Amino acid sequence: MFEALISSKTRIKILLKFFLNGNSVAYLRGLEEEFGDSTNSIRIELNKFEKAGFLKSYTEGNKKLFKANKDHLLFHDIQQMLMKITGINHLVDYVLQHIGNLEKVYLVGKLSKGLESSEIELVFVGDINITYLEELIAKAEKKLNKKITFICYKPEDFRLDEIRKNGIDPLLIWNR
C-alpha cells in the first residue's frame, strides 16, 4: 500500500527505520548493510530528510549518525500513519476493545527496528485470557493479511530489563 504513495523503496525503508521507532539511530554504512541498497541512494534520501528537518544528524568518531527529529511538527503524524499502514494500530485497537485487563503492548522484531516485515511481533502485558487472545489474533491476521506472533506476560512476571538482556529491544506502542 505504501508503495502506491511513495515510489522510492529507499525512502520507505528510511521512513520505517526512523519513524516507526523514533529512537532508532543509524549511519550510512549500517543502513547500506541493513537495507541492501547502494550508499548513494541512501545518502540522497538521508540528505533530503535532514534538509526538510525530519532527521537530525550528529558526528560520533568518524561516523555521521542520523535519528528522527521528534520535535518536527509532523513526526507524530508520520509515525501514526506508519502504524496504520503496517496494521499495528488496528491490531492493538481491536485487541483493546475485547480485552480489558491489558496494561502494555510492545512491538518487537523487525518492525520495532524499523525494517519491513510481513509479520507483526508483539508482547502483551496484563492479566489476559490467552485462549481468547488467540481467537482475536487469528481474526486480526485474516483482516490484516499478516502473520502475528505474540507473547503474554502477567504484570508481576514482566521484566523489561530481562527482555533487553536477550537482545530484544521492545518498542512500547500502548500503555494504560
3-state secondary structure of 129: coil
C-alpha cell at 94: 481491536
Residues 16, 76, 56: CA angle, nearest 5 degrees: 65
Mean pLDDT along residues 11-15: 87
Cβ-contact 156, 128 below 8 angstroms:
no
Confidence of residue 2 (pLDDT cuts 50, 70, 90): low
Percent of the chain with pLDDT over 90: 30
Average pLDDT over the chain, rounded to whole? 85
22-38 exposure pattern, b = at least 16 Cβ within 10 A, e = fewer: bebebbeeebbeebebe
Cβ-contact 147, 141 below 8 angstroms:
yes
User: How many C-beta neighbours within 10 Å does residue 50 have?
Assistant: 15
